[in-house]
Chains A and B, each alone.
Chain A
Amino acid sequence: MNKNATDVANVIARHKADILKEWIQRQKESASSLSGIMSSEDALEQSSQFLDLFSAALNEDPSAENDTVWGEVRTMLESVSRSRALQGFSPSETATFVFSLKQPLFQRLRQESKSADTLADAVWAMTTLLDSLGLYTAEVFLRSREQVILQQQQELLDLSTPVVELYRGVLALPLIGTLDSERTHSVMENLLEGIVHHEAAIAIIDITGVPTVDTLVAQHLIKTIAAARLMGAECIISGIRPQIAQTIVHLGVDLGDVTTKASLAEALKLALAKVGRGIAPLKTGTGLS
């Protein structure tokens, strides 16, 4: 087995240029639709680097289990797979990077080997090895895709729950989009952190951007308001559209003693009154409003 591996490594070393050329040709064929995305210089560089690392690792240990020896190959594959995942390659195209090495490699092995037995042994050993490496690239590919998705999810969540200070002690929480339990949780956390941070006494929850309010959403809103109240802040709900007011009443949702206002402007006026402030026209104003 070990001798086989060294033989293969020797074959690779002798025919490196040929193998590389054919391999890249194969890669291009398999990923023809995306050939524009990746330059052939990049492909050449990655392929040649992989061949070098691969044959070096083969000389050391052919079983592909030794982490110290194969770690470098795996790291290299990881970076290739990750960059391809971000560039928009499909998983099979990424895995083909490794699998397409088989054909040129086996061809050289056939030319070089003396008996059918040694050839079969070498081919079998290389197949298992390359298969495991190919699967590894697919795995890394999926993992990096998942990372991207998770990151986007987090960004979306952060983006959708801003807490803004309208005046000293008055916070506004403009909600956009559907409220589900996970979002409610992050909304609640953000609001409570905001109350502590700004030492707010009043929070206005504006639901103009919430498309529908069903019993569940109302339940979530009530929970948020109850939590804010426990922290000593009063909540005002604003931006209830007529249709939503109708649904709330039809569903029989009890908003309790929560203050509701039709518009954010009305809510702000009430909030300011509650903190002992008000809005008055300036004498020097143009009087346009």
Chain B
Amino acid sequence: MERIPVLKLDQFLLVTIQVELHDQLALTLQDDLTTMVSRHSSRGVLIDISALDIVDSFIGRTLAHIAALSRILDAATVLVGMRPAVAITMVELGLTLPGVSTALNVERGMTLLREAVGNEHDDEDDAE
């Protein structure tokens, strides 16, 4: 079955969507990601959608679900590389993805994730 590869990098998971994301594929990705997050106890998930030129309401909702699931499993989600046309479509559809962090490119997304995780470490240090 067709799958989107999920890469593990230290404490983060990377996903680059480079094919057309149809409904079944999105659901499979959601399952894979949750499994991987809990197996590796990852702290962050970065989803790169720069190659995606169509996002419908279902995909948008699935992305929001992935973020919510990761949060429950204690991992931050960053969505990077959304194209202008896609952003406009999402807003027109009313999908503003509250609670999902966004970044312009993978580099900034990684910085954001590291910051999020780093802050938590600091907090722990403070607590100790």
A interface residues with partner B (beta carbon < 8 Å): 185, 188-189, 192-193, 195-196, 199-201, 223, 226-233
Query: A226 to chain B: which residues have CB within 8 Å?
Result: 91, 96
Contact A230 B104, beta carbon cutoff 8 Å: no
Q: Bound state CA distance, A271 and B4, in angstroms?
A: 37
Q: How far is the CA of A258 from the CA of B88 in the complex (A)?
A: 18
Taking a contact as CB atoms under 8 Å apart, the answer to whether B87 and A192 are in contact is yes
Decide: A232 and B82 in contact? CB cutoff 8 A. Answer: yes
Interface, chain B (partner A; CB < 8 A) = 79-80, 82-84, 86-88, 90-92, 96-97, 102-105, 108-109
> Would A230 and B108 count as touching, CB distance under 8 A?
no
Q: Are B91 and A231 in contact (CB under 8 A)?
A: no
Are B91 and A230 in contact (CB-based, < 8 A)?
yes
CB of A230 within 8 A of CB of B105, answer no
Q: Which residues of A contact B91 (CB under 8 A)?
A: 188, 223, 226-227, 230
Interface centre among A192, A199, A200 (most CB of B within 10 A): A192
Roughly how many angstroms separate A193 CA and B105 CA in the complex, as a whole number?
14
Query: Residue of B at shortest CB range from A194?
Result: B84
SS class, residues of chain A in contact with chain B: helix
Quick one: which of B84, B92, B102, B105 contacts A192, CB cutoff 8 A? Answer: B84
Show 24 A/B contacts (Cβ-Cβ < 8 Å), sorted by A: A185-B88, A188-B88, A188-B91, A192-B84, A196-B84, A199-B104, A199-B105, A223-B91, A226-B91, A227-B87, A227-B88, A227-B91, A229-B102, A230-B79, A230-B82, A230-B86, A230-B90, A230-B102, A231-B102, A231-B104, A232-B82, A232-B105, A232-B108, A232-B109
Cα distance A195–B96 when bound, in Å? Answer: 18
Contacting residues, chain A, for B86 (C-beta < 8 A): 230
Q: How far is the CA of A199 from the CA of B86 in the complex (A)?
A: 17
B102 proximity list for chain A (CB < 8 A): 229-232
Q: A189-B88, A193-B84, A227-B87 are in contact. Are A232 and B104 (CB under 8 A)?
A: yes
Using Cβ atoms and an 8 Å threshold, which residues of chain A touch B87? 192, 227-228, 230-231
